[in-house]
Chain A
Amino acid sequence: MLYLRDRDMAAPPKPVEKVDGVVIRFAGDSGDGMQLAGARFTSETAMMGNDLSTLPDFPAEIRAPAGSLPGVSGFQIHFSDHDILTPGDEPNVLVAMNPAALRTNLRDLPRSGTLIVNRDAFTDRNLEKARYTANPLEDGSLDDYHVHEVPLTSLTLEALKDVEVTKREAERSKNMFALGLMSWLYHRPTEGTISYLEKKFQSRPPIAEANVLAFKAGWAYGETSEDFRVTYEIAPAKLPPGTYRNIRGNQALSLGLLAASVKSGLPLFLGAYPITPASEILEDLSRRKDFGVRTFQAEDEIAAVGAALGASFGGALGVCTSSGPGVVLKMETIGLAVTLELPLLIIDVQRAGPSTGMPTKPEQADLLLAMWGRNAESPVPVIAASTPGGCFDAAIEAARIALKYRTPVFLLSDAYLANGSEPWLIPDVDFLPDISTRFADAESHEGDFLPYRRDAETLARPWAIPGTPGLEHRIGGLEKADGTGNVSYDPDNHDHMVRLRAQKVAGIAADIPELAVDEQGDEELLVLSWGGTYGPVQAGVRRVRNDGGKVAHAHLGYLNPFPRNTGDVLRRFEKILVPEMNLGQLSKLVRAEFLVDAVGYNRVRGLPFRSSELAEAMKGML
């Protein structure tokens, strides 16, 4: 086995080519371990100090039939020596572990792109499952690409022939062979992956050995095979100084909620029902009992938010996490929270819909649901995270608003942010905002305790939690008299209370940052984006500018209320383009609110925007 020689006996090093960035996509069957290979490659890349952005793309089915088209799972990583904003529009390199992966992903690979295929998987049966009538490796259809046919399966089996694992187990290590090869090709450090594998399969040493050997064999194959003539080097990126880790949006959101609990001094209570792509937050936080977190996996979405609200009534930081199909079920309770004026966080990790839609695919079509999806006038602040790492700050900010204004708050994320990852500058805990709040007690009021007497500045009502002597009171869904909170059907009181609740939410505009505009000052076109599309939109803006186009960019993290200068900003530009992964929800809001002629760029493909398509749309308006 030539390729398993020791490193010190290796063939003379191959020429190294310096590149500033590359996009690699790993694609294979759901059972091929592509997500793991991708995640490991990401960690190696992070340790190299490159900037990076990743996008996993997997089917909702846990195990679609092996080798089938719907069973293809992909993982894309973009890494570079400069700061980047997206996982890349299209891969430069595609690793296809079987014909189905080739068929579903080839359309994204530009001509002359690099294609690495597992030749062993191109059997008649697999070709048929992928609906190929001829073998694409043989019929010349791949002539425009740089194709590397690697017998990944047989090389893996050969490398593991002395390890005590079954053939099936040995075969399953082929993802590590592929990872080893790619790690060699791009000069990734290997120690992290080796110790990761040893730890992951700690209880099954032969499996650990098999994976490590396959990984090393892949590396060695690169070194010795005639097929690979050069390797690539991508220098570390110049990022702001500090300590970094790689983070996915859902992880950042969980950490943000914990930070909100610590910084508010309130115990975190999470009510949730399992739903893709939000379940991971429940899973993460259920491990955090050391922070006193109570996680309640409810019988349904309704009970999940109900319990969170009940916990808020008792003085906890009540949170529920879900996705669109679950959020619709919670609206009744959110309406109750509006009228009870209690803090509550509703986290909607948006996915493509309507109905069950495409559970693992992103969309941002729940904006109007969050705004108005309740009966009657029931205003709720809405904020949206913009990047995976930004989910951390968004969670703290949502909690700050909820606690300070005693209101439910919507935090919108999406499947792209949730699963996508990027390097994250770990914040200094001491500099996180203090979001502590004060419960009402015997001293906090003069005269009789009035549960609906408002703070003059914030219009928030007192939060008097059970257990506080002398402040016993009843609250409920019936309209309340201003001040006393007693049930009231008085017409003027109702009109007054409806307006007060609206004013309270609108008033938050004074307490959030102004909308910043990325501009030179002479642009006529403003691109207005919101939420999870920040990366692709900003990347699109940079493309246009590189080509000499003039375009300004503003990105909204606050959707209700809008930052107080939003109208002024919008009116400064002649043209406004609003790209959204829906059919024009923010467009509707800004048109209605500011009477501006916002033009939408709308795609709902269950995939993040490509910066190239956005750049085209921008150019079309110049």
Chain B
Amino acid sequence: MLEVCQLSVQYRGLLALENVSLRLGDGELVGLIGPNGAGKSTLLKALLGLIPIAAGRVLFRGRPLPRQRQQVAYMPQRSQIDWDYPITAGRVVMLGRTTAMGWFGKPTAQDQQRVQDALEQVGMWAYRHRPINELSGGQQQRIFLARALAQGADLIFLDEPFAGVDKPTEALLLQVFMTLKSLGKTLLVCSHEWGPVLTQYDRLLVLNRRVIADAPPHQAMTLENIQRAYGESLGAILADPHTPFLAC
């Protein structure tokens, strides 16, 4: 169980998050949506303690989360990675085992096995020797998901795993999420994907600096909530009966 109380984050005077409170139960798949600049990435980073928080608490199983980072797997937003870095897909996934191996540790047979399982689960085992810049965007996303899987964490934060991903890959990622859920893992997934895919989440957190809504998909994606998060103009487009309804 992850508990966040009254979390606020500031970037040099700019208030990026204000009094954000939320709870994630074990085995929950929660979607984090909101417009560009809403503070979604900021929230994930603040939960992990990667950026200083101005106020609030983040507790995982009753203890501060930043002190138990082995329990969290984090997949950064695409733009944070240098895709020309000289590294192969398999080695990226092995990075997920770094803390488990410990200082001076070498990959054991068990580490190798976990990496193989993770790569197979996302259908990328055949690509393990490819440099990452020779993979497509969707394949790159899968590799990063595999890294999170290989880590074996209980809490998984994914920043826009669906960015630039085609339908089959999206389906594959969702299938992996479901497997993880059934294993009791907690997933917090930041996303810009709208439409039917939103119904896959147990809960949606609509964010724009503050929590606008925190409810099951159908209750979260109301016209009013969308207007409050994305502004009146988008609300007006969605309200027009001639546009295909994007929300679920």
Q: Do A and B come from one complex?
A: no
Spell out A's residues near B (CB within 8 Å).
none
Spell out B's residues near A (CB within 8 Å).
none
